[in-house]
Amino acid sequence: MTMTDPIADFLTCIRNAVQANKDRCDAPASRLKLELAKILQEQGFIRTFKVLQEGSQGTLRLYLRYSGEGEPAIQGLERVSRPGRRVYRGVEELPKVRGGIGIAVISTSRGLMTDAKAREERVGGEVMCRVW
């Protein structure tokens, strides 16, 4: 079976694991997913991640973060740009997620970065997803 949107599948895997209060989730690895996992870790949405060398592609394992009361760090996760409808924004039009509480992940010519970092570096790009 061919997958038309592996990033949406990756985000759905994370969303399902959070809703089921799982400690971790596994997804097929890729460079884009690895960069997305690095951003999620830097921003404090996940504890850590590792790449398991299983098969030819490997598996990306994310360890999710929860508060002391069991509340997940990821309250919402939404894909913005899709294969059928790409969403590009200039630096002046970059979205702020939940008034700055969340992040938007932007794919720029300088790699994946958060909306705040893209504003700082004065670059626009494709809005991949929003996390809050």
Residue 77, pLDDT score: 97
Q: In CATH terms, is domain 6-64 a member of 3.40.190.290?
A: no
Q: Would the pLDDT of 53 be above 70?
A: yes
Q: Would the CA dihedral through 112, 97, 79, 10 be positive or negative? A: positive
User: What's the CA gap between 28 and 53, in Å, rounded?
Assistant: 10
Q: Map out the domains of the chain as residue ranges.
A: 6-64, 77-131
Spatial CB neighbours of 45, under 8 Å, sequence gap ≥ 6: 65, 73, 74, 131
Residue 1: the pLDDT is 52
Mean pLDDT of the chain: 95
Q: Which CATH architecture has domain 77-131?
A: 2-Layer Sandwich (3.30)
Burial class (CB in 10 A: 0-12, 13-18, 19+), 66: middle
